[in-house]
């Protein structure tokens, strides 16, 4: 079964740090770009960060740039998000999501997040 399982969430004080993990199974993890997406309580989805299959390309939303670091270990089928200098506005459920290139014909291939984990809650509060 294709699966993503996040862990590492919890309660942390403002200015603190936390490291999230996402364990992948059921597919060739090293072949896919991966993403972190978050959702504040009662709010919509916000893309946070992306990492290519070989870690060659890494991108961040402006809201987390300089504070969060995405990484992966293909040998361990794992994705990580190191979160430093946490703020109250970082409080959210954090999802990892697989990015796939989908379509039938080469001329019409599209990217989408086709597999999501169940999420892990991060609460930043004093």
Partner 1 sequence: EIVMTQSPATLSVSPGERATLSCRASQSVSSNLAWYQQKPGQAPRLLIYGASTRATGIPARFSGSGSGTEFTLTISSLQSEDFAVYYCQQYNNWPLYTFGQGTKLEIK
> Is 120 a binder of partner 1 (CB under 8 A)?
no
Cα(97)–Cα(112) distance, integer angstroms: 9
Among residues 11, 78, 77, 60, the alpha carbon closest in space to that of 69 is found at 60
- Report the residue count for the chain: 126
- The pair of structure tokens assigned to 61 is 């939303």
Q: Which is nearer to partner 1, 11 or 109 (CB)?
A: 109
Quick one: which segment of 22-30, 71-79, 82-90, 116-124 binds partner 1 (CB under 8 A)? Answer: 116-124
Give the shortest CB-42-to-partner 1 separation in angstroms: 11
Gap between the Cα atoms of 89 and 98, Å rounded: 25
Count of chain residues binding partner 1 (CB under 8 A): 23
Q: Is 55 left (phi over 0), alpha (psi -120 to 50) or beta?
A: left
**Cβ of residue 88: shortest distance to partner 1, in angstroms?**
21
**Binding to partner 1 (CB under 8 A): which residues in 9-68?**
35, 37, 44-47, 50, 57, 59, 61
Judged by the rule CB under 8 A, the positions of this chain that interact with partner 1 are 35, 37, 44-47, 50, 57, 59, 61, 95, 102-103, 108, 110-114, 116-119
């Amino acid at each position: 079964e294709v699966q993503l399982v996040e862990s590492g969430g919890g309660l942390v004080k403002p200015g603190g740090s936390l490291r999230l993990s996402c364990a992948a199974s059921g597919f060739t993890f090293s072949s896919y770009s991966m993403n972190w997406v978050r959702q504040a309580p009662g709010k919509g989805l916000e893309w946070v960060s992306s990492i290519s299959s070989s870690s060659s390309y890494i991108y961040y939303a402006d809201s987390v740039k300089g504070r969060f670091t995405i990484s992966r270990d293909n040998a361990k089928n794992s994705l990580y998000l190191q979160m430093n200098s946490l703020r109250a506005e970082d409080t959210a459920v954090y999802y990892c999501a697989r990015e796939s290139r989908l379509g039938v014909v080469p001329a019409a291939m599209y990217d989408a997040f086709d597999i999501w984990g169940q999420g892990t809650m991060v609460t930043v509060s004093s």
